[in-house]
Amino acid sequence: MSGEFGRIARYFAPLASAEALGLADDAALWTPPAGRQAVLTVDQMIEGVHFLPDDPADLVARKLMRRNLSDLAAMGARAEGYLLTTALRADTPETWLSAFAEGLAADQARFGLPLWGGDSSSTPGPVMTSITMIGSVEPGAALRRGGAVAGDALYVTGTIGDAALGLHAARGEIADPTGQFRARRLLPEPRIGLALAGLVHAAIDVSDGLVQDLGHVCRASGCGAVIEADRVPLSPAARAAGPAWRETILTGGDDYELLIAAPAGSDHELRQACAGTPLTRIGHFVAGAPAVTAVDKDGRPVTLARTGWQHF
């Protein structure tokens, strides 16, 4: 069978679990794990906006999957399954779809979650795809953006800036001799599975830019934050890029690291909870207006012309 339903049967049915009813009914049937609260999130990948036309399709799929996993990680939730939409052009080669499905299969195996359903459509314009991810959490254990208080320490996982530098590398604006920037742009590493419940006051994942996403935590929490810019963890390649790229690093986004507000004095416990995941203290929360300020190592303000990514 070819056409829309042939593509569903060939590429998506092998990814589906029993909840998907063979991808042959009107909706999926899922029984939530007893006593757990459902956590729902959705993100899109649009050609020209979230990925470049020549990006490998398997990595487009995996980045889409991981952007959703990152939002579940930011909520302290475990992924259970996902719904997928695709809008392809009539001239999108079948090899694009087969590679896309291979990427989904690879990350389904890596993260242990099934496809539950979706929708296939066409577009006269850029390729568009989205995932709605369903997760679960112990009731009351979800991490929220709104719990930071003045005096809390501010932490970030991993390193910041490589993916944004990867976009500039793709445009030929910065060298990428090790391929580190390209790799981080194409394939983020969601910080799933950290045992943060009961330990941290607030969390968010960094998708739009460190400064902007920290601003969301500040507004939700009703306090300010200070970033010690020189403490922000950088890969060796990003460090080598030099100070001219500092604003891009702090505001470029696509990092999919976690920003965490934790009580001062919980450092040891927090590091134990994050065993194996790099964690750096980069600042603290302060009383007052929900403003984010960045300072250098002498305490002088670092001025930034923007805070992060916004769609027009």
Ligand X SMILES: Cc1ncc(C[n+]2csc(CCOP(=O)(O)O)c2C)c(N)n1
Q: In what order do the strands lie in the sheet with 115-122?
A: 37-46, 128-137, 78-88, 115-122
Taking the least distance from each CB to ligand ATP, the nearer of 99 and 251 is 251
The distance of closest approach from Cβ of residue 179 to ligand X in the complex, given in angstroms and rounded to an integer, is 17
**The two structure tokens encoding residue 277:** 């995941």
State the residue for tokens 């909706």.
Answer: 27
- Which residues, 31 to 50, sit near ligand ATP by CB under 6 A? 43
Helix H or strand E segment including 100: helix 94-111
Would you count residue 51 as binding ligand X (CB under 6 A)? yes
Residue positions forming the annotated binding site: 26, 41, 43, 50, 71, 118-119, 145, 205, 207-208, 254, 309
C-alpha to C-alpha distance for 220 and 276, rounded to whole angstroms = 29
Q: How far is CA 265 from CA 150, 153, 186, 268, 294, in A?
A: 13, 8, 36, 8, 22
Binding mask 51-90 for Mg ion (x = CB under 5 A): --------------------x-------------------
- Taking CB under 6 A as the criterion, the residue among 80, 208, 247, 257 binding ligand ATP is 208
Taking the least distance from each CB to ligand X, the nearer of 152 and 254 is 254
Which partner, ligand ATP, Mg ion, ligand X, none, binds residue 254 by CB below 5 to 8 Å per kind?
Answer: ligand X
C-alpha to C-alpha distance for 282 and 233, rounded to whole angstroms = 8
Binding mask 61-80 for ligand ATP (x = CB under 6 A): ------x---x---------
Residue 95, judged by CB atoms within 10 A of its CB (0-12, 13-18, 19+), counts as: exposed
Residue positions forming the annotated binding site for ATP: 118-119, 145, 207
**The two structure tokens encoding residue 136:** 């679960």
Binding mask 194-233 for ligand X (x = CB under 6 A): -------------xx-------------------------
Which partner, ligand ATP, Mg ion, ligand X, none, binds residue 51 by CB below 5 to 8 Å per kind?
Answer: ligand X
The distance of closest approach from Cβ of residue 41 to Mg ion in the complex, given in angstroms and rounded to an integer, is 7
- Taking CB under 6 A as the criterion, the residue among 50, 62, 168, 184 binding ligand X is 50
Taking the least distance from each CB to ligand X, the nearer of 68 and 136 is 68
What sign has the CA pseudo-torsion 113, 114, 118, 124? positive
Closest CA to 184 of 165, 208, 206, 207: 165
Taking the least distance from each CB to ligand ATP, the nearer of 20 and 87 is 87
C-alpha to C-alpha distance for 241 and 138, rounded to whole angstroms = 42
The distance of closest approach from Cβ of residue 207 to ligand X in the complex, given in angstroms and rounded to an integer, is 4
Instruction: Answer for the pair 45, 63: CB distance below 8 angstroms, yes or no.
Output: yes
- Which residues, 182 to 211, sit near Mg ion by CB under 5 A? 205, 207
Would you count residue 111 as binding ligand X (CB under 6 A)? no
Buried b (16+ CB within 10 A) or exposed e, 28-64: bebeeeeebeebebebebbbeebbeeebbbbbbbbbb
DSSP 3-state percent helix, strand, coil across the chain (nearest 5)? 35, 25, 40
Q: How far is CA 284 from CA 215, 281, 294, in A?
A: 13, 8, 11
Nearest residue to the partner ligand ATP, using Cβ? 207
Would you count residue 43 as binding Mg ion (CB under 5 A)? yes
Contacting residues toward ligand X, per CB under 6 A: 43, 48-52, 167, 207-208, 253-254, 309
Contacting residues toward ligand ATP, per CB under 6 A: 43, 67, 71, 207-208
